[in-house]
Structure formats: C-alpha cells, structure tokens
C-alpha cells in the first residue's frame, strides 16, 4: 500500500515535533495526477477544478496548466481564485449568490454563471444591465435532474434527483429557456446546461448521469429550436477512503465521454471535479502524544485532531494513515507504549467525536511516533472548525519542484531588469 510518497515520508520524519501537526502537499504528485486525468479526457471535454475542494493558492497554481478553468461558488472563492491564478476562465456557481457577489463577478469579467433559480436570473440580468451594459453574459442553467434511485443510495452526497436547494426544478426549464431566448434578457446568452447531481459516483455511474444530462439538454434545445453549446455534467467522482490505492477510473470515464461527445458533435462537454483531483496530494502529519488502554481498547492521542482534519468525522470513515516509528526520544521520562493492536487514533479535542481512524494495526506504538493521515488534500483543513479548543494551527508545506513561469526570450534575469 502506497499511502505516502517518499518525499512526504521523509519530510514528515524530518519535521521537529513542535512543527507538528502539519499539512504536507506533494505538488509533483498533484501535477502528475492532473496531467494523467487531462490526458485521458477527450479534447472536446473541458476540465474545470471546483475550488471549494481545496483552494490553497499553491494547489490552484499547480493545477492551472492542466485545467481549462475553475468553478467558484462564493464571492470569497471568486476573489481568491482570480488573484491566485489570474487570467483563467471562471464559472460562478452555487446557491444564494448575493447581489454584491454577482456585481463583483460581473466587474471581474467572469465568463459564465451557473444560474441556480429564476430569481437569480432576473437579478443577474438587472445587475448586468446596470454595471456592464455592453457585455454579453454567459449563462448555464443549473438543473436538478433525476438521478437513478440506486445511485442516490450508494453515493455519499446527493445534491440532485430529489427535493434540494440546488439548481432549478426541471418543471421550470421551458419557462426560463423561453425568457432567455425571447429577448426578455437581451444581455444574457444561454450557453447551456449545468448539473452537479451527486458526489461519490464511480465512472460507470458518472457516465450514466452524464449521458442523461446531455440527453435532457438536447431535448430541451430541440423543443425550443435552439442550439446549446455547453453541457457541464459536474463533479462528484468518487474517492474511496476505505481503499486508498483505488482510483476513480478516469480512463473509462474519458472513453465514455468521448462516445457521448461523438454522439453530440456540436456540444462542448465540461466536468468540474474537486475531491478526486486533490484528495491524493495532501497529508496531515502529526505525532503520538499519549497512548492508553481503556475498557479493552487501545487509544492513541495525536497532536491536533478533527478540528484540523474534519473529513473522517463528517464522512464517518476511518482516515487512512501510516505509522512512522521514530527511535529518537528527547525527554527524560519513559515513552508511553501500547501493547497490542488495533489502535484507535483520536485528537486532542474533549469530545468523543474527535476520532481520526479506528482499527489501525499499530503494535508497539509509542508516544513520539509519527502518524501521517493520507487522502487529506480535499475537504480537509478548509472544512474544519479550526478554533474549537484554541489549539495552535498546523503548518503548511508544499513539496515539489517550483514551477517557474517561462521567461520571454532575451528577457533580463528578473523583472527589475525589465523595469530599469
């Protein structure tokens, strides 16, 4: 099992204890993964990254060369992504957009809006008319389309296919398309349809959903005798936390998307994964503070906890981890040690919910040993309740070769030369 890259393992062992816990990202591994994903997608499928999975600027920068754009779902993400990776295409989605958020998106020149409701469409049209009256605004209508019932059960999170605050009910589709094509909103250009219906789907399930979204979009276009240019079939590619070596079958997904694209030659398909792009490039490294035997079970208390890495608590899984024994022990008192295994790894919070992983084989585990939790590159730090109990924040480290922007031929060594 390859839970750690060599770079992350060496780094986790080299960090002094008072620099723990730490988030460690392997940007080379991220780039390699993103390059692979891009390489198996057909040319006519665009890849956007859903920034909410992990919006660290270094992550966005590493992903940028392999993506066609970024999906942002708040004014905060919008401003952050626009400054972190300037010049990249942005799609602004998400429910409950405020007038202020839409204003800043319009002024930033955001290429496309994923419109979530009839009200939002009116607001967007009105704000565009007042703020950027000569600019065409690209609109994708986000629909809450049906999803096969068995997918809803198996998928970890369902955003659509049932009553939900996300997207537009299909019963309103024809009315909104009419408004977008009869001159009611002259500035808004209906580019197509967006759907992000479920998260945690396998490639086969994703393809079935993508196909049905594309078919629905084509039927809608045919009914209104219009051409729809884009269909965004969303994200939600599965990450299997119980089997960290498993990967979403990007190759099969790419081939399936190629078939769908061939059936709809005028259509640009787009996907916007988050988790399955970045989950594998992040680790939460820490050390064992104490070990104890309680009512027949062994527990290890590690520095930090679910206030830094909330993923196992929210998803109810055991975060995959690797124990790295450390032979050096700096203190004059003896180390705490567990007799047997398995061990339950918990954090420092005074709540029974602060469990990172159960059933970890860790015979002979001692205080001071390092533990590195894998698959912590998405929905980890940024979804956690950092201030609960006022423990210090983790460090953040980005390993991998820095990507130096290509220099123009003949340019001076630094920008100072250009200025002089």
Ligand X SMILES: *Cc1c(COP(=O)(O)O)cnc(C)c1O
Interface ranges with ligand X (CB under 6 A): 50, 52-53, 71, 73, 93, 196, 199, 234-237, 272-276
For ligand X, give the closer residue by CB, 52 or 216: 52
Give all strands (DSSP E) within 230-281, no chain letters.
230-232, 268-271
Residue 261: CA count within 13 A, CB half-sphere = 19
What is the smallest separation between the CB atom of 73 and ligand X, expressed in angstroms? 6
Known catalytic residue at 350: yes
Task: Considering the candidates 350, 390, 408, 416, report the single residue annotated as catalytic.
Answer: 350
Least distance to ligand X, CB of residue 116, Å: 9
Pick 160 or 304: Cβ nearer ligand X: 160
Give me 399's structure tokens: 């390993």
Residue 60 belongs to what H/E stretch?
helix 57-63
Min dist. Cβ of residue 103 to ligand X (A): 21
By three-state DSSP, how is residue 1 classified? coil
Distance CA 55, CA 300 (A): 31
Give the integer Cα–Cα distance in Å for 234 and 200.
12
Question: How many other CB atoms are there within 10 angstroms of residue 179's CB atom?
Answer: 17
- Owner of token pair 């679910």: 306
CB 112 within 8 A of CB 232: no
Toward ligand X, which CB reaches closer, 201 or 346? 201
Q: Considering beta carbons, is residue 53 or 125 the nearer one to ligand X? A: 53
Q: Smallest distance from the beta carbon of 209 to ligand X, in angstroms? A: 13
**Nearer residue to ligand X within complex by CB, 108 or 156:** 156
Q: Smallest distance, Å, CB 276 to ligand X?
A: 6
**Cβ atoms 380, 343 nearer than 8 A:** no
* Strand, coil or helix: 36: helix
Q: Which residues are catalytic?
A: 350
């Amino acid at each position: 099992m390859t839970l750690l890259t060599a770079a992350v393992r060496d780094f986790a062992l080299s960090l002094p204890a008072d620099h723990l816990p730490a988030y460690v990202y392997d940007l080379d591994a991220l780039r390699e993964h993103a390059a692979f994903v891009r390489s198996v997608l057909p040319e006519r499928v665009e890849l956007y990254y859903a920034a909410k999975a992990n919006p660290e600027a270094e992550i966005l920068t590493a992903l940028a060369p392999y993506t066609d754009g970024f999906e942002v779902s708040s004014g905060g993400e919008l401003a952050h992504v626009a400054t972190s990776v300037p010049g990249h295409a942005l799609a602004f989605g998400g429910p409950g957009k405020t007038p202020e958020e839409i204003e800043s998106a319009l002024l930033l020149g955001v290429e496309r809006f994923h419109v979530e409701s009839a009200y939002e469409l009116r607001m967007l049209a009105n704000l565009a008319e007042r703020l950027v009256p000569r600019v065409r605004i690209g609109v994708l209508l986000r629909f809450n389309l049906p999803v096969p019932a068995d997918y809803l059960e198996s998928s970890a999170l369902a955003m659509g296919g049932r009553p939900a605050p996300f997207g537009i009910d299909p019963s309103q589709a024809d009315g909104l398309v009419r408004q977008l094509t009869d001159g009611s909103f002259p500035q808004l250009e209906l580019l197509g349809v967006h759907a992000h219906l479920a998260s945690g789907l396998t490639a086969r399930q994703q393809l079935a959903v993508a196909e049905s979204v594309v078919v629905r979009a084509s039927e809608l276009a045919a009914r209104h005798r219009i051409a729809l240019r884009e269909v965004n079939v969303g994200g939600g590619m599965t990450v299997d936390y119980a089997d960290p070596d498993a990967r979403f079958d990007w190759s099969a997904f790419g081939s399936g998307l190629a078939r769908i694209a061939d059936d709809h030659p005028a259509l640009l398909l787009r996907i916007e994964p988050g988790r399955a792009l970045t989950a594998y490039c992040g680790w939460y490294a820490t050390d064992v503070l104490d070990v104890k035997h309680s009512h027949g079970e062994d527990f290890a208390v590690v520095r930090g906890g679910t206030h830094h890495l909330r993923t196992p608590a929210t998803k109810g899984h055991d975060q995959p981890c690797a124990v790295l024994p450390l032979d050096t022990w700096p203190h004059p008192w003896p180390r705490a040690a567990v007799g047997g295994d398995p061990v339950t790894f918990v954090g420092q919070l005074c709540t029974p919910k602060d469990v990172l992983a159960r059933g970890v084989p860790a015979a002979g585990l001692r205080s001071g040993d390092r533990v590195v939790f894998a698959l912590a590159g998405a929905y980890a730090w940024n979804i956690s309740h950092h201030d609960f109990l006022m423990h210090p924040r983790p460090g953040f480290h980005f390993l991998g070769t820095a990507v130096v922007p290509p220099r123009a031929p003949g340019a001076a060594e630094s920008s100072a030369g250009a200025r002089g």
